[in-house]
Chains A and B, each alone.
Chain A
Amino acid sequence: MVRRSLTRSMSLDQIEALFDRTYTECKKHVEAVIAPLAGPNADVDALRQETFERFYRMLLNDEVKDVNPKGLLGLLRQIASGKAIDAFRATARRPVDTVDELPDASAWDTVAKIHGPEVAYEHAETLRAINRLSPELRETLLLREYLGFSREVTAEILGIKRASVSANVRRAKERLRKQTAEPELPHLSLEGGTA
């Protein structure tokens, strides 16, 4: 502990100042990561708190290499997605209906204000369909398509192979297409008509 504090690149005051600044700036981004990933039964406040606690411990242990704002946001998004996935898996084990969009229903008001009600409705439908997928497919799809993480980062967060990431995304898209495929209309014959 003594050695660690001696070799720490920042003083405690600097760490606290950096932490406060990062919290204020990145809080909303972290919540936006957690909300769709953790599922409708999640406690976003608690997960956000756990994410920042982990971040604080990393700062204290001098595990954070890149302290520029973009790097810190990337790190926080990774921690938050890991925490959200853990929370989703924990709630998925309980017999509750997880097929809903977001834990915060009022978020759709903002989406509707910004992108229009039709887009908000479409996003809600998309998320509901994604929530019907199996946890592996759902998580891979959201990390790749919603958060835009690279294959490497997604594989690292989920603890799977890179090839499995691509395969999971492909499978998830196939399932989504199948889920929402419209039944074909019966063929109408026009026999017996007059020429």
Chain B
Amino acid sequence: MEKVKLSIDNKLVEVEKGTTIYKAAKQLGIDIPVLCYMNLEGLGIENKPGGCRICVVEVEGRRNLAPSCSTDCTEGMVVHTHTMRVINARRTVMEFILSDHPKDCLTCAKSGNCELQDMAVKLGIREIPGQEYAAMSTYKMDFSPSIIRDLDKCIMCRRCEMMCNEFQTVGALSAFNRGFQSAVGPAFEMDIEDSTCTYCGQCVAVCPTGALTEKDHTRDVINALSDPTKTVIVQTAPAVRAALGEEFGLKPGTLVTGKMVTALRRLGFNYVFDTDFAADLTIMEEGTELLGRLTKFLGGDKEVKLPILTSCCPAWVNFFEHNFPEMKDIPSTARSPQQMFGAIAKTYFADKIKVKREDLVVVSIMPCLAKKYEAQRDEFKVDGNPDVDFSLSTRELAHLIKQANLDLKTLPDEDFDKPLGESTGAAVIFGVTGGVIEAATRTAYELHTGKKLAKVEFEQLRGMEFIRKATIDFNGTPINIGIAHGLGNARKLLDEIKAGKSEFHAIEIMACPGGCIGGGGQPLHHSDSSILKARTKAIYAEDEGKVLRKSHENPYIIKLYEEFLGKPMSEKAHHLLHTHYFDKSGKIEIS
């Protein structure tokens, strides 16, 4: 690799050709402030439109200032990152940006966690000259079941646009209008609900300001918890426990399962359960479905739909309903763990504790924003009453815990309640890319071959590569497994299937980078990809620490089938645990 030598703030540095000034400065420990720039290192997700102009630096011999995020180093370059000319420019540009930004930090969802706010502090902004007569660009608010858009707060960093178009290939967000009225949103300024948005929430996860936030349900949950006529139960998704601690100053990757249970109990939930229980149930259903299709296929049935696609990621479900409706009979019909949990809670468990359906409130804690949308889908309601009443993101749970003056760090560890709180390691790894298919493989292998696995870990299914392939030997039958995270990567595999070129028997798809641990409802990573890796590690550690690591060994799952469901894919299971998909390709209407 060709190298170039340059000087930054009078320090010499040698970097690979093609390195930006910003990255070279970072190597020297020089911190150049960046705002629109975002880089999830190691994942290849980078946003550098060079639009905010905060990161400008002085390059000797150049007429104007250079955006360090998107200017490559050249041989002999002499760079100054903090001259008065640069500082004046940064402050003036920041004053421009703030002059067109609402000043409602007190009630803004992002307050305290806002990159724009931090930058204002960093650059020492104390006043905005001319604010009293500065016009503001204003837009309509947009509410959807998952995401709220307040474009008055958009600073045109274009991160959301990059995530939506380049990484997810959803194409719901792009810049509209020109000049002072520019902002990012769906075409023709239609509501996000009318667009092809999948509610994956990756736009929210990267938005530096309060322009994109989740639909907050903490108020609804407080109402339910303070209503004495309601029995309120909660389920927590696997990825939550690996990230919640970050909101309380704990190191990324710190598992807080027991503390989270205690916090939830102290918040007043009558039963604290685990979505992992439902994840084990998902494996029973989806694994059986996979084996069923495989057996038919191996038996020579040409009609059978393979590969089977996982269906637990609701953003992914939305994605194929919008973009690949002709393939809607390929994914597994198994509902997601959140919805399986809701269905079982409001039937089996409600009967057990003798509470009427309408008096039982099911709250889910999810790393995800699409779960909010999923929870209110009509097919998951009985007479208008949803199986899952409210879905909170990890961030919202953190807010609730803080409001209740609970210090998560010092809380004791407690266990989930029974019966819907018991789970295996297989369920825990649902939280990371490759985890669902690994869990399914553990069970499907043992059920198919009748042999015990010597080693439950399938290392070949793990990793952060966006598209991974592995072949597992099922007693002489090679099973080809594909894994994709990120909808853009999923699209590649789907295009292969569409073209009849897919080599896979089963494919796992997660919409978010890294799987649920990188979900749109998780504590903000602020472009630090090491956080995603730490969470992944934590999830695998939780799996390793479990006594039971295969879904079909979960005694409460066995009991649930004995007492209630019969067997996997039974009629009752079909009714409660499976779903069907819709063609949403023609849904876009421009009014």
| A and B from one complex | no
**Interface residues in chain A, defined as those with a beta carbon under 8 Å from any beta carbon in chain B:** none
